[in-house]
């Protein structure tokens, strides 16, 4: 196989990126730097024109302003909602409420942690944030209640990564956009696999994970003395808010950004009505929203410089051609693509994987023919998008490199070792792999629900594409 | 003796520059966020209510939501850089001496962020000016104000450039401090410190 000079440069570009990312510079700046350097080289060798760099402004402006389809406006609103829920202590209410409800169930506190991870999904902007938050909130309580460090760390890692793929988490938003499927349909598509996943987790903790010793001391906390009615009341408000968002999208009452606005206002009003969200908290939530939104979209800018040059040099075609030349059938190509994404998840957060890698994989995945394996060809991309999201989450949780596990070690109390964390994570990774295999074998798990709610045969173009 | 005085002047200048730019960029971004984010929420809710009750200018609200989102985003990049909220893969670099990290960061700012911002300021400024001169109208509302939307790009790039200059000044202070310890005066945050407040 002979490579053109442009393709050689494109491969060198990928290799340089892989090394330069470890320089410690912000990822977005590294992406720009590699893009500029190889763009300059391309111009010098006559493979690109200097005028091509003029497209950067139009890519920035064009990608982020589209009043016909203002999906991106939902991102800061979802982040604000999650932040306000946390600042007002409503997230803590959930932990205490669920813990109280399940106090007589084996592994009740572990169930509470899993539910909390699920409900905190809007705050899970980055895997690091959600895992660290879960570790700080739940790990000391679990250890105090007599769970082994490995069991406690395993459930916290699982809950922290689960939040990343629960609607309306923003990872799903960007996966849908990069793969070119409707975001609300992607949200609904995740519910089937997530039900299996959560069910598997819950059965596992209820049957196999119990405290190995008595709790250190009763802390007389709310969850210990409250009646079931009080506990349900505590649970009701934040659960209703999240449920209302999903319902309004699923039933077609509101678009994504509209329902996110309702969720953001609802979270602030709930906090204010209960006198638990001061002006200072509100201000902190706004600042957090600005920082997290800018963090995600700055990588978007960097990726747009990188991918512009990479495509102009012929890199995207090269990778697509290499994947197509594998003689392993459509399912084989899909599995190889999932494995590539899985390996990337060991080292990188989802933002850079989704924004840099997915647009390159998209044309290959779009062209795959799954024949009779999937009910209708227009459903294939939805199925693939769900698999990619689940796959990323699994990668973050897999020893020894799982990103979430290393972050968990950073936020864990000194008594919890990395070996504990690895041991604790393994059962959840096994459950993840079983669910992914089930979704590959039975695509209806991911496509049935969105197909009932939306007309998925309508074309949908993601904005992050050439 | 003369070199020591020059060194002290340079340190004082870099410190003042970093602080001034930090306060300016953070203050502007946070102020804008405090105003624009609640407005985006109001627009989103207004659109739903307007559409279901068939009242109010829901299409205009939708466009305003889109414009505010774009503006808030462009204006937040510099603030996020200053607060070290940008994603870094620091598995390797956390073991590198802070002086070497400062040198890499300085190089990244000068060789990458500065030219990127200048390209966006140049092209974005030209685009906004052309839009103003031609009286380009918003998609809905028929007002000749599209130039304001286009202006968000060069304005955001200017704020990011100012943030990058502040970060560069902090890096310079780190490099100077390690050469002559104790000559830096008050301690500035390094570009690698995580801060939650400006």
Q: Which of A18, A21, A24, A301 to mutate to test the interface with B (most CBs of B within 10 A)?
A: A24
pLDDT of residue A120: 63
| Cis bond upstream, residue A48 (ω within 30) | no
Residues of chain A with pLDDT under 50: 67-68, 216-217, 220, 222, 461-466
Q: How far is B29 from chain A (nearest CA, A)?
A: 8
pLDDT of residue B196: 42
Q: Where is A257: in which H helix or E strand?
A: helix A256-273
Dmax (CA) of chain B: 77
pLDDT of residue A458: 65
- Per-residue pLDDT for B117 more than 60? yes
Contact B108 A25 (CB under 8 A): yes
Q: How far is B154 from chain A (nearest CA, A)?
A: 10
- Any idea what DSSP says for residue A68? T
Q: Which of B116, B122, B153 to mutate to test the interface with A (most CBs of A within 10 A)?
A: B116
- Chain-centre distance of CA A205, in angstroms? 23
User: The tokens of A274 are what?
Assistant: 């209960």
**In terms of pLDDT, which residue wins out, A82 or B151?**
B151
Q: How far is A262 from chain B (nearest CA, A)?
A: 6
Radius of gyration of chain A (CA): 23
Contact A262 B40 (CB under 8 A): no
- Cβ-Cβ contacts under 8 Å, A291 against chain B: 76, 79-80, 83, 85
Q: How far is A80 from chain B (nearest CA, A)?
A: 9
pLDDT of residue A67: 47
* Dihedral Cα A412, A413, A416, A419, nearest 10 deg: 40
pLDDT of residue A97: 73
Region for residue B102 given its phi and psi (left: phi exceeds 0; alpha: psi -120 to 50; beta: otherwise): alpha
Q: Which of A287, A295, A303 to mutate to test the interface with B (most CBs of B within 10 A)?
A: A287
Residue B76 — very low, low, confident or very high, per pLDDT cuts 50/70/90?
A: very high
Interface A–B counts its CB contacts (< 8 A) at 191
Give pLDDT tens digits for A87-130: 887 766 776 677 777 777 767 778 888 877 776 655 555 555 56
Answer whether A33 touches B (CB < 8 Å): yes
Contact B89 A27 (CB under 8 A): yes
Residue B40 — very low, low, confident or very high, per pLDDT cuts 50/70/90?
A: very high
pLDDT of residue A41: 92
Contact A36 B96 (CB under 8 A): no
- Cβ-Cβ contacts under 8 Å, B37 against chain A: 76, 80, 286, 289-290
- Per-residue pLDDT for B197 more than 60? no
- Cβ-Cβ contacts under 8 Å, A262 against chain B: 44-45, 48
User: The tokens of A382 are what?
Assistant: 């939805």
- How high is the mean pLDDT of chain B? 85
pLDDT of residue B32: 96
Query: Backbone phi, then psi, for A443, in 5-degree steps?
Result: -60, -25
pLDDT of residue A77: 86
- Per-residue pLDDT for B177 more than 80? no
Residue holding tokens 């294939």? Answer: A380
Closest chain A residue to the Cα of B61, Cα to Cα: A67
- Per-residue pLDDT for B187 more than 70? no
Q: How far is A269 from chain B (nearest CA, A)?
A: 12
What is the percent of chain B with per-residue pLDDT over 70, rounded to a whole number? 87
pLDDT of residue A347: 63
**In terms of pLDDT, which residue wins out, B82 or A454?**
B82
Closest chain B residue to the Cα of A291, Cα to Cα: B80
Residue holding tokens 């310079």? Answer: B172
Answer whether A21 touches B (CB < 8 Å): yes
B174-177 CB contacts, 8 Å cutoff, 24+ apart: B174/B98, B174/B99, B174/B102, B175/B99, B175/B102, B175/B103, B175/B106, B176/B7, B176/B10, B176/B11, B176/B14, B177/B11
Cβ-nearest to A64 among B63, B70, B113: B70
In angstroms, rounded to a whole number, what is the distance separating the alpha carbons of residues B34 and A331? 49
Residue B130 — very low, low, confident or very high, per pLDDT cuts 50/70/90?
A: very high
- Cβ-Cβ contacts under 8 Å, B105 against chain A: 24-25
pLDDT of residue A302: 83
Contact A294 B43 (CB under 8 A): no
Q: Which of B80, B115, B129, B168 to mutate to test the interface with A (most CBs of A within 10 A)?
A: B80
Q: Which A-chain residues 267-286 have CB contacts (< 8 A) with chain B?
A: 268, 283-284, 286
- Any idea what DSSP says for residue A401? T
In angstroms, rounded to a whole number, what is the distance separating the alpha carbons of residues B186 and A242? 47
- Per-residue pLDDT for B194 more than 60? no
pLDDT of residue A428: 93
């Amino acid at each position: 196989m002979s490579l053109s000079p442009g393709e050689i440069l494109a491969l060198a570009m990928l290799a340089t990126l892989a090394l330069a990312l470890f320089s410690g510079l912000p990822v977005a700046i590294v992406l720009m730097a590699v893009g500029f350097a190889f763009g300059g080289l391309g111009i010098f060798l006559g493979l690109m024109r200097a005028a091509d760099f003029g497209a950067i402004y139009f890519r920035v402006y064009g990608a982020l302003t589209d009043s016909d389809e203002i999906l991106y406006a939902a991102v800061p609103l979802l982040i604000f909602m999650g932040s306000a829920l946390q600042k007002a202590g409503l997230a803590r209410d959930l932990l205490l409420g669920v813990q109280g409800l399940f106090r007589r169930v084996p592994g009740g506190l572990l169930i509470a942690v899993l539910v909390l991870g699920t409900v905190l999904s809007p705050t899970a902007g980055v895997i690091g944030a959600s895992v660290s938050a879960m570790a700080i909130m739940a790990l000391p309580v679990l250890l105090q209640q007599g769970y082994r460090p490995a069991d406690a760390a395993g459930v916290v890692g699982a809950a922290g990564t689960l939040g990343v793929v629960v609607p309306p988490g923003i990872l799903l938003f960007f996966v849908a956009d990069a793969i070119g499927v409707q975001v609300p349909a992607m949200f609904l598509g995740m519910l089937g696999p997530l039900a299996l996943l959560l069910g598997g987790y819950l059965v596992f903790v209820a049957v196999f994970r119990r405290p190995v010793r008595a709790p250190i001391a009763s802390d007389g906390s709310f969850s210990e003395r409250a009646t079931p009615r009080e506990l349900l009341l505590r649970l009701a408000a934040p659960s209703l808010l999240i449920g209302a968002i999903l319902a309004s999208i699923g039933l077609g009452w509101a678009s994504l950004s509209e329902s996110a606005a309702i969720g953001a206002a609802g979270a602030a009003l709930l906090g204010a009505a209960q006198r638990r969200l001061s002006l200072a908290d509100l201000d902190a939530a706004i600042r957090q929203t600005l920082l997290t939104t800018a963090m995600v979209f700055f990588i978007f800018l960097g990726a747009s410089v990188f991918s512009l040059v990479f495509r102009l040099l012929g890199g995207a075609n090269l990778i697509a051609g290499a994947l197509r030349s594998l003689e392993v059938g459509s399912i084989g190509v899909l599995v190889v693509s999932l494995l590539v994404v899985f390996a990337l998840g060991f080292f990188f957060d989802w933002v850079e994987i989704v924004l840099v890698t997915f647009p390159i994989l998209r044309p290959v995945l779009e062209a795959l023919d799954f024949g009779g394996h999937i009910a209708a060809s227009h459903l294939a991309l939805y199925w693939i998008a769900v698999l990619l999201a689940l796959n990323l989450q699994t990668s973050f949780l897999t020893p020894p490199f799982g990103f979430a596990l290393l972050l968990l070690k950073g936020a864990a109390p000194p008594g919890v070792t990395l070996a504990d964390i690895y041991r604790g994570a393994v059962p959840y990774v096994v459950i993840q792999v079983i669910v992914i295999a089930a979704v590959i074998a039975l695509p209806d798990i991911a496509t049935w629900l969105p197909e009932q709610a939306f007309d998925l045969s309508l074309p949908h173009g993601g904005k992050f594409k050439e | 003796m003369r070199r020591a005085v020059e060194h002290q002047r340079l340190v004082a200048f870099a410190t003042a520059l970093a602080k001034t730019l930090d306060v300016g960029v953070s203050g502007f971004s946070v102020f804008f966020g405090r105003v624009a984010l609640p407005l985006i929420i109001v627009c989103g809710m207004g659109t739903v209510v307007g559409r279901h009750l068939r009242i109010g200018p829901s299409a205009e609200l939708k466009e305003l939501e889109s414009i505010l989102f774009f503006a808030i985003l462009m204006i937040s990049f510099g603030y996020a850089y200053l607060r070290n909220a940008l994603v870094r893969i620091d598995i390797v670099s956390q073991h590198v001496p802070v002086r070497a990290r400062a040198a890499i960061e300085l190089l990244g700012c000068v060789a990458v962020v500065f030219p990127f911002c200048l390209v966006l300021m140049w092209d974005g400024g030209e685009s906004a000016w052309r839009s103003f001169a031609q009286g380009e109208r918003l998609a809905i509302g028929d007002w000749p104000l599209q130039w304001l939307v286009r202006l968000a790009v060069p304005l955001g790039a200017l704020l990011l450039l100012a943030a990058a200059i502040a970060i560069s000044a902090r890096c310079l202070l780190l490099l100077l401090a390690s050469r002559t310890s104790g000559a830096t005066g008050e301690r500035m945050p390094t570009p690698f410190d995580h801060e939650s407040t400006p």
